[in-house]
Amino acid sequence: MSTITAKTQKLSIVQAVTDGLRTVMKEQEEVLVLGEDVGKNGGVFRATEGLQEQFGPDRVIDTPLSESGIVGTAIGLAINGFLPVVEMQFLGFIYPAYEQIMTHATRIRMRTLSHFHVPLVIRAPYGAGVKAPEIHSDSVEALFTHMPGIKVVCPSNPYDAKGLLIASIDDPDPVLFLEPMRSYRAFKDEVPTDRYTVEIGKASLVEEGTDLTLIAWGAMVPLAVKAAQKVRVQNIHCDVLDLRTLYPLDKEMIAESVQKTGRAVIVHEAHATSGLGTDIIALIQDTSFLYLKSPIQRVTGFDVPVPFYTLEQHYLPNEDRIIEAIHKAIQF
């Protein structure tokens, strides 16, 4: 992590995203923001509010309603020296752009033998919990972690949001920057006013314990922390890992923690089948099988489309389901 000054400000996650964008746009004229309603309206969640007024419509660009066109244009800008930051209004809207991302953005470095790079950031609010309509609440990060050539990051707090966003814009290759929208304005933390980065590919040890490893990311991290704090009174002490980067995973920290505790619970709101949790289980089996004291547990969303409104909370992992999984792992 780069050196930072002591001066900070209290920001929410969405404010930290805005501050990160403003920081790099002041420094580098090559940074452009593109997306539907990102300019005059400041984005659907107001993450780009005030940026068009400050930097002008040539750098904060309102686009047509065409995700494939937005990403395709941004790829062309990226290989020609610009640093585009694309906003998808919701992760569930990214599917029309999937072909551009997987066929072109992720492959151009290899295709051109590194003569061209694609320094493209795609920001996407994701996840359920805000009672949004269909296709607005998807958590399909595993679709993108399967393809080499694109990094996938997911902050859970304001400090990481700004630092990871700046690191993503600095990166010479494509980055999908997932923003847990249920956490956008849920709380505020101290965030440095100056430029700093959080290293891509490094997880964070949020809570420390010896009995079990809880692994989570995004909006699931606060839930995992609360569950860990509740079981502490039962003399169960958990490591809580915030992955922060979903591809590439911090294999070393995961293995080190599981080898210390001998037990693991993975929490994610994506569907269970082929979710990222299965890859983490495989990683633990490869690196730490002989250290395990009990089967690895998962707490996930269910294999159904994210349901509407009144059923949404039944779909999402919660503290009770996490605590139940912890007790199941501990009982062995």
The string of pLDDT tens digits covering residues 253-266 is: 999 999 999 999 99
Whole-number percent of the chain with pLDDT over 70: 98
Lowest mean pLDDT among 33-42, 194-203, 302-311: 302-311
pTM higher than 0.75: yes
Q: Give the whole-angstrom CA distance, residue 330 versus residue 324.
A: 10
- What is the predicted pLDDT for the residue at 1? 47
pLDDT at residue 93 greater than cutoff 80: yes
What's the whole-number mean pLDDT along residues 121-148? 94
Catalytic residue (one of 104, 136, 268, 271): 136
- What is the predicted pLDDT for the residue at 242? 98
Backbone angles phi, psi at 293, to 5 degrees: -100, -15
What's the whole-number mean pLDDT along residues 114-137? 94
Backbone angles phi, psi at 52, to 5 degrees: -65, -40
274-308 tens-digit pLDDT = 999 999 999 999 999 999 999 999 999 999 999 98
**115 flagged as catalytic:** no
pLDDT at residue 4 greater than cutoff 80: no
pLDDT at residue 5 greater than cutoff 60: no
- What is the predicted pLDDT for the residue at 149? 97
Sheet of 212-216: strand order equals 204-207, 238-242, 212-216, 264-271, 297-301
What's the whole-number mean pLDDT along residues 47-61? 98
Longest dimension (CA), the chain: 61
Sign of the C-alpha dihedral computed for residues 54, 58, 64 and 65 taken in this order: negative
